[in-house]
């Protein structure tokens, strides 16, 4: 179950809407917080799901000045380890939405839908993940926020 939360920072910077110039964001350290809102995972013990619900995980990102010029899309860039495919993405006018397909070790890819709002201070949104497990359909909902926390990144 621990692998579920890290999948959620996932949009390539080169997929920003082409007709709108990205709004630059501050370079430096950013915290992306993902909080589990709802979890339906067949076969997972109920006590484990109750423990995970409401928990949050923080991913620390360091943006160079060049990366920060790409705007909020730089914060949404995928972790290459997740090997997710971006099916669609729209980042414009203070709103973002995307759909992704992320491989599982067994079974069809997980389908992820994200949407929310953004500005130069970061983003706030919701992620919904759906997939099939050997024991039945899975659905996970996660709220995410990203905020600039430091002008420089520490080692």
Q: Please say if the pLDDT value at position 155 is more than 90.
A: no
Q: Please say if the pLDDT value at position 2 is more than 80.
A: no
Regarding pTM above 0.85, the answer is: no
Report the mean per-residue pLDDT for the chain.
Answer: 84
Rounded to an integer, what distance in angstroms lies between the CA atom of residue 58 and that of residue 144?
10
Q: Please say if the pLDDT value at position 112 is more than 80.
A: yes
CA-to-CA separations, 21 to 16, 68, 81, 93, 104, in angstroms, rounded: 9, 13, 29, 10, 35
3-state secondary structure of 9: coil
Residue environment code for 42-70, b if the CB has 16+ CB neighbours within 10 A, otherwise e: eeeeeeeeeebeeeeeebebebeeebbbb
Q: Which of 123, 43, 110 is nearest to 77 (CA)?
A: 123
């Amino acid at each position: 179950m621990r692998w579920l939360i890290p999948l959620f920072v996932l949009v390539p910077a080169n997929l920003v809407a082409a007709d709108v110039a990205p709004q630059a964001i501050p370079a430096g350290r950013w915290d992306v917080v993902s909080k589990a809102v709802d979890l339906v995972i067949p076969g997972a013990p109920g006590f484990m799901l109750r423990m995970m619900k409401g928990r949050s995980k923080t991913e620390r990102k360091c943006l160079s000045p060049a990366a920060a010029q790409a705007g909020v899309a730089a914060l949404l860039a995928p972790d290459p380890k997740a090997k997710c495919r971006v099916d669609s993405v729209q980042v414009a006018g203070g709103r973002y939405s995307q759909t992704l397909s992320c491989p599982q070790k067994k079974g069809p890819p997980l389908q992820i839908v994200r949407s929310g709002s953004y500005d130069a201070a970061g983003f706030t949104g919701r992620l919904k993940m759906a997939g099939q497990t050997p024991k039945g359909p899975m659905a996970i909902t996660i709220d995410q926020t990203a905020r600039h926390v430091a002008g420089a990144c520490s080692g």
